[in-house]
Amino acid sequence: MMATTADPQTPARPAKPTLDSLSPSQIEAIRRIPPHDGGQKPTPIADWLEPVIKKTRPASIFLDRERFDLEQRSIFRRLPVPLMPSARLPEPGDAVAFDGYGPALIVARDKDGVVRTFHNACQHKGSKLIEQCEVHKAARFICPYHSWTYGLDGRLLAAARSEMFTDFDKADYKLSQLPTREYAGMIWGVLDPEVTPDWSAMEPEGAGGFADDMRHLGIPNAYLYGHKRFEIAANWKLVLEPFMESYHVTRLHASSIGDLFTDMASICTKLGPHQRKVAGKIQFQPSDLDIPGENIHKTVTHAYQVFPNGTIVTSPYYISMMVLMPIAPDKTNVDYYMLLPRKPDSEKAESIAARSYELILKVFGGEDFRAATITQEGLASGGLKTVTYGGMENTIPTYYDQLESHFLTNERG
């Protein structure tokens, strides 16, 4: 399952993604999108979803420390969680300090292309080995305190004046390593080294599921154009919710991108533990799907909820990936990544990428993340005991059912 980023079996995403560049599952879902005047309610369409609902959740799931701690030990310290796209470490020898989930870690790709995750702690006295959170080339890790030196595989290579330690064996001082796999163009880790990892949700190659979708979108071979860390004063689930529903789009984004969309039915599909929503933009017409060479993402948007805490959203010229990392009941780190099919190779391509990056940071940072923050503040006022979800938000309660199915109980451990 560990692999290099550039998989020769995976064609690069074309600069202009067309319908026939997508997976059979993606194409089938797109062809099910009804016309705007088709009479369907503007709700996600799937056999496990009710089109019109009024479902509630206690406001406490966004506020209580007890709930946050349960999520930490049941989900974020036990299940595989996304760390970053593979594109962040595209070449052998790339390494980065990573603290998105709180603990100080190192993520590195060795000379053979294998990605590993270590605690960022020298095994002598615990000093951080890497301090910079920017990707850099590394042949080895050298502790700045006493110069203990480690290989990219975590082995201790040298310790200064090791003869001054009794019965010293370098093999006893390997870096603490976390279970790590590279899958669907993302690097995943299990944040508790004592947990036996369960990778069963990562279906094999060619299974027609989530990984196939990501290959057809070009995620495994994508170029990372931009990355920004947001620190949001809100519960992580409030940050996630807007990316699972279309109810807010024309309203919250009225002054930015809202006029590109309309309230219409979307097609929702389960891909293992993940969800995919496919919806037409305001100009979508089913007949346009058969125009040769059309950029499919000018009229159709794919939005993925990557279980448990990631999102992927398509745009005509780039793909947005976000990893939402809970730090406290009311604090979330979000790493935003803009992925391109290839590095811009012209002034025009660079201009499009730069303008797109500026716009999406404004939309997500100034609108979606702001909505999460003001919702957190409102809930913290104690003004309501429950939150309510309607039909245009109907994937959210089902997601919470799925999340809570993993919660540990006294009987389960």
pLDDT digits (tens, 9 = 90+) for 99-110: 999 999 999 999
Cβ-based neighbours of 412, under 8 Å, separated by 6 or more: none
> How far is the C-alpha of 226 from the C-alpha of 192, rounded, in Å?
29
pTM: 0.94
> How far is the C-alpha of 319 from the C-alpha of 214, rounded, in Å?
11
pLDDT band at residue 204, thresholds of 50, 70 and 90? confident
pLDDT digits (tens, 9 = 90+) for 206-239: 778 999 999 999 999 999 999 999 999 999 999 9
Report the pLDDT value the prediction gives residue 152, as an integer from 0 to 100.
97
The residue with greater pLDDT, 107 or 9, is 107
Cβ-based neighbours of 31, under 8 Å, separated by 6 or more: 286, 289
pLDDT digits (tens, 9 = 90+) for 317-340: 999 999 999 999 999 999 999 999
For residue 235, how far is the Cα from the chain centroid?
Answer: 16
Strand bridging mode 44-45 / 266-271: parallel
Report the pLDDT value the prediction gives residue 358, as an integer from 0 to 100.
97
pLDDT digits (tens, 9 = 90+) for 149-183: 999 999 999 999 999 999 999 999 999 999 999 99
Cβ-based neighbours of 61, under 8 Å, separated by 6 or more: 67, 235, 237, 400
pLDDT digits (tens, 9 = 90+) for 287-323: 889 999 999 999 999 999 999 999 999 999 999 999 9
Residue 76 near residue 101 (C-beta atoms within 8 A): yes
pLDDT band at residue 2, thresholds of 50, 70 and 90? very low
pLDDT digits (tens, 9 = 90+) for 25-36: 999 999 999 987
- Give strand pairing partners of 371: none
Strand (E) or helix (H) holding 313: strand 310-314
- Give strand pairing partners of 224: 339
Mean pLDDT of 58-65: 98
| pLDDT of 16 over the 90 cut | no
Residue 302's nearest CA partner among 321, 285, 323 is 321
Mean pLDDT of 404-409: 95
pLDDT digits (tens, 9 = 90+) for 231-272: 999 999 999 999 999 999 999 999 999 999 999 999 999 999
| pLDDT of 11 over the 50 cut | no
* Residue count (the chain): 413
Percent of the chain with pLDDT over 70: 95
pLDDT band at residue 39, thresholds of 50, 70 and 90? confident
For residue 123, how far is the Cα from the chain centroid?
Answer: 31
**CB neighbours of residue 363 within 10 Å:** 18
The first and second tokens of residue 224, run together, are 């990372």
